[in-house]
Amino acid sequence: MSGTETPLIESGQLAAELSGPEPPTLLDVRWRLAGPPGRDDYAAGHLPGAVFVDLDTALCGPPGAAGRHPLPDPAALQAALRAAGVRAGHPVVVYDGGDGMAAARAWWTLRWAGHRQVRLLHGGWPAWLAAGLPTSTEVPTPAPGDVAVRPGALPVLDTAAAAALAAADEGVLLDVRAAPRYRGEMEPIDPVAGHVPGAVNLPAPQYVTDGRFPSAEALRERFAAVGVTGDAPVGAYCGSGVTAAQAVLALHLAGRPDAALYVGSWSEWVADPSRPVATGETPRP
């Protein structure tokens, strides 16, 4: 990976680019699963020139049988991105409150929509503040963008494909939720506890710490430890496809740009009671 295809950008490099002749478009996607809305954080202070984009309403479709954060309608996504000033062929940088999850889902969504030039601010808002860089409360009015959403530029798993990958000996479906949720000991959000039969547990803190990723070599070692080796198929899921998007980004960093996201994730899997559920530490019952 090189140039604007590199998924991460550090605060100092971003500051330099923002002061250059062709600054990237900045999207503030701060979000919390249980609230309050990220827009409140944005209003209190943000990177100069950043436009707030809501993950729940702009980058995802409405919750339902397809999960709590399903794919957005392409036309609605295109309208939201154009309103935020996203232009075809022009770089975008996304950032969140520091854990990297919402920014990773924004990165993944733009890449899935066909916009290759998108990076994530490594460490997010806290890293920018720690570097002593300027902030603003001014809400910009961006010139309308002209990005064209072309879905399918990154691979997606539906429920059938996720089940097939989990059952395949030559592939790996990663469940990146906390181990107690994977084992079925507790489930704080969705109505059923457990995991997709055949999925392997790799909790997110094992490959990302406070929104920051280790080296590509370290990531390859951590993924290899759970069976992600060579070019065998790999996909990831979580509760609703947000944390798993961060896993896909980590897999990109590790040299696996073919990694697939099960967007509906567990929230879609358990929406149909006929789908099998496994519990315990092992992938299969």
Which sequence positions are flagged as catalytic?
Answer: 238
Percentages (nearest 5) of helix, strand, coil residues in the chain: 35, 15, 55
Distances (CA, A) of 244 to 32, 42, 114: 15, 24, 19
Dihedral, 109, 262, 252, 80 alpha carbons, nearest 10: 0
Rounded Cα–Cα distance for residues 78 and 88 (Å): 11
Rounded Cα–Cα distance for residues 233 and 150 (Å): 24
The two tokens of residue 209 are 């710490």
The two tokens of residue 175 are 């469940």
Strand partners, 120: 8, 94
| DSSP E strands, 159-207 | 172-175, 200-201
Helices (H), the chain: 11-18, 38-44, 74-83, 101-112, 124-130, 159-167, 179-183, 216-224, 243-253, 265-269
